[in-house]
Amino acid sequence: MCGRYVQSSERELLRNRFGFAVGPGGVACGGRFNVAPRQRAPIVVIGPEGRLLSEAAWGLLPGWARTAEKAPRPINARAEGLAEKPTFRDALRKRRALVPVDGYYEWRAGPGRKTPFFFRVAGGGPFALAGLWETWRPADGREPLETFAIVTTEPNEVAARVHDRMPAVLDAEGEALWLSGRPLAAPELARCLAPAPAGTLEAWEVSPLVNDPSRNGPELLLPSSAPAP
């Protein structure tokens, strides 16, 4: 699964990378080194006039859920069988998103506590994970709640050293398909959700400081051999 990620790039860099428009008031971007479930974060969606930067809470709440308090809020959606799962199938057809990240964390199981690792694209920089989003509208007329989940797939050679799943990393062609605004045929879905080629990512062990969601700073990305500040 993908349980934490980094969104450190500022909005202008993301706009240059993903080509979105920014609505009135904008969306806060950057400075996030430990994004955790239920927190709000930027996503890129497709609208009538093209790509748009939006904000949503991490943990998808289906539009048909009766309440926000008791409904499951999955942060990840397994690529296998997405089209058949009630929680995700409508979003898969109509509400796909790019989740802009600068990396993500994964934990390797072992004796005692799990060991955290940081993954990023080789050389660093923002990249996109495949996401699904939904709008939940409460019956009492309160403000709608927008939420999202990150799609996961089988690991590539690099990710498999740490975990048996990895986020679906999109290249430029995959981003265009994922945000095409139309239902995708099975081969197109397979193209988008295949494990990233092994050379796409690099990873290293980091400090267990990342286990604390209240910690947020670039020191979380330091290799574990470096002294903690």
Residue of 29, 106, 134, 146 marked active site:
106
What's the CA dihedral at 28, 159, 157, 200 to 10 degrees?
10
- Three-class DSSP labels, 8-46: CCCHHHHHHHHCCECCCCCCCCCCEEEECCCCEEEEEEE
Active site residue 2: yes
- Give the Å distances, CA to CA, from 178 to 49, 122, 227: 16, 22, 41
Residue of 2, 29, 134, 175 marked active site:
2
CB-based contact 183:169 (threshold 8 Å): no
Rounded Cα distance between 130 and 25, Å, is 25
Active site residue 106: yes
The region, left, alpha or beta by phi > 0 then psi within -120 to 50, assigned to residue 218 is alpha
List residues with catalytic annotation.
Answer: 2, 106
